[in-house]
Amino acid sequence: MKKFNPEVGKRARHKYLGKVLGLDVWTVKSWIVREYETEFADDGNHGRYPWFVPKNEVWLEIGLTLCDYDLCAIIIHGSLEAYVMNEFAIKYDNAHEVADYYEKEFRAFTKEHGWDKSWSVIEMADYWARIYLDKFTG
């Protein structure tokens, strides 16, 4: 495995968005991240990219200026994935399946019920990620 390189974060971090499940969510300059990892797309966390994403962070590609519910779904996915890997020592592939399942559940709920504009994307992501984490840990 490659050695952790904190320079990637120093160079790539763009904007701090807030906390979801206690993890710091950042937008990053993906063109800089891709100098270190060409496979980086959309989002990432320590479980997927342990050689440059710190354990307590979720990174989103700066170009992900999507509609609020779509961005929220991606944040939920990345945060759940990172959290279950960190807290339960679940391997990336399994954590990705868990996160994918709940991302789809969130998308279906939002499609049916709409988006509550009184919440920020980060507030909404944290709220739903906690609900899904409770469901997961049952």
Work out the angle at residue 134's Cα, subtended by the Cα atoms of residues 132 and 137, and round it to the nearest 5 degrees: 110
pLDDT digits (tens, 9 = 90+) for 35-74: 888 888 889 999 999 989 999 999 998 876 568 888 899 9
26: helix, strand or coil = strand
- Among residues 31, 133, 32, the alpha carbon closest in space to that of 82 is found at 133
CB 43, CB 71: distance < 8 Å: no
Residue that the structure tokens 């009184």 belong to: 118
pLDDT band, very low/low/confident/very high, at 5 (cuts 50, 70, 90): confident
Question: Is residue 2's pLDDT more than 80?
Answer: no
pLDDT tens track for 91-135: 999 999 999 999 999 999 999 999 888 999 999 999 999 999 999
Looking at the chain, the whole-number percentage of residues with pLDDT higher than 90 is: 72
Per-residue pLDDT, 44: 92
What's the pTM value of the predicted model, to 2 decimals? 0.92
Confirm if 29 and 12 have CB atoms less than 8 A apart: yes
- The mean per-residue pLDDT over the stretch 69-90 comes to 94
Q: Which helix (H) or strand (E) holds 56?
A: none
